[in-house]
Amino acid sequence: MDVELRHFRALVAIAAEGTITGAAARLRMTQPALSRTLRQLEQRVGAHLVERSTRHLRLTPAGEVFHGRAVTILAAVDEALAEAAASPRPLRLGYVWAALGEHTTPLLRAWRAAYPQVPLHVHRIDDRTAGLTRGDVDVAVLRTVPDDERLHVEVLYHERRHAVLPAGHPLADRSELDLADLRHETIGLVETETATTSPDLWPAEVRPQAFVETNNVDEWLTLIAAGGAVGVTPAGTAHTHTHPGVRFVPLTGVAPVPVYLVWPRRLSHRRTPDVVDLARRVVAAGTR
């Protein structure tokens, strides 16, 4: 039996979802059918690719190697099909919640002017690599460093942190604040793998006593707008998530947040180096 594209897609889906149930739903197939497909692949390869000792599946070392190849192969097939149809496959840029902040629109416009034949699609995907390790995007903007040797990570620029306050808050009209100004406030946190704010951001002597957790940036903004908390976030949030009920005030005396551009060492799109180069130039022009 030869290895088919369905075998590659099965392994990539399992790696992305971590369970047979989730992967089967992602591929719109039954769980028994997916399990059979995985067994067929392992028999053909002659190695175990998925560790089944826990309820949450994970790739074996051989599976990690095969997964990297599978993502590259599937991307190449998609690109070949698009080219055969005289329509280049879009280059996909993923982000978790803030993209490139003020540089996002300039990058998209510059790309359209320089490469009108290749669409650049932007996707918000709420996982630690914005869909990169799942093969859903070709390059990602992140504000936390992924621990994955298959990825190339570059610091593109640094963003100032802002306090996020309900409109009408006594501090909302200040031109600047520092962390000590927030010591008596309830702090809203976004509890995800990509969060850039935690209680440890504050020195112990001015650390607030009350923190409340939310599941995503939308819940977090709603909580703040309703007066239930204040927050701290990189400046890019203000550009990507405008909200009439909150005010963003720059913070002083706290380290800025690195903004990373991340892409696979095995490129999934041949235009990835072009968007990386263009992003560097757009950011450099915007920060002069």
Q: Cα(26)–Cα(17) distance, rounded to whole angstroms?
A: 8
Q: What pLDDT is stored for residue 88 in this prediction?
A: 75
Higher pLDDT, 161 or 21: 161
Task: Specify the domain boundaries for CATH 1.10.10.10 within the chain.
Answer: 5-83
Q: Which of 151, 154, 162, 169 is nearest to 102 (CA)?
A: 162
Instruction: Report the amino acid identity of residue 179.
Output: L
Q: What pLDDT is stored for residue 161 in this prediction?
A: 97
Could you tell me the fold of the domain covering 5-83?
Arc Repressor Mutant, subunit A (1.10.10)
Please write the tens of the pLDDT for every residue from 5-52. 889 888 888 888 888 888 888 888 898 888 888 888 888 888 888 987
Cβ partners under 8 Å of residue 104, min gap 6: 122, 239, 240
φ, ψ for residue 12, nearest 5 deg: -65, -40
Please write the tens of the pLDDT for every residue from 266-285. 888 989 999 999 999 999 99
Q: Which of 132, 162, 129 is nearest to 143 (CA)?
A: 129
H or E element that contains 16? helix 5-17
Give residue for tokens 């997916």.
34
- For residue 1, is pLDDT > 70? no
Please write the tens of the pLDDT for every residue from 217-241. 999 999 999 999 999 999 999 988 8
* CATH number of the 161-255 domain: 3.40.190.10
Q: In this structure, what DSSP letter does residue 256 have?
A: P
Spatial contact of 137 and 123, defined as CB atoms under 8 Å apart: yes
Return the number of other C-beta atoms located less than 10 Å from residue 228's C-beta: 13
Q: What pLDDT is stored for residue 70 in this prediction?
A: 86
Cβ partners under 8 Å of residue 225, min gap 6: 166, 167, 243, 244, 245, 246
Average pLDDT over every residue of 86-108:
90
Higher pLDDT, 95 or 74: 95
Please write the tens of the pLDDT for every residue from 55-76. 678 888 888 888 888 888 888 7
Task: Specify the domain boundaries for CATH 3.40.190.10 within the chain.
Answer: 90-158+258-286, 161-255
State the architecture of 90-158+258-286 in CATH terms. Answer: 3-Layer(aba) Sandwich (3.40)
Q: How far is CA 60 from CA 12, 56, 67, 157, in A?
A: 13, 13, 10, 35
Q: In this structure, what DSSP letter does residue 87 have?
A: -
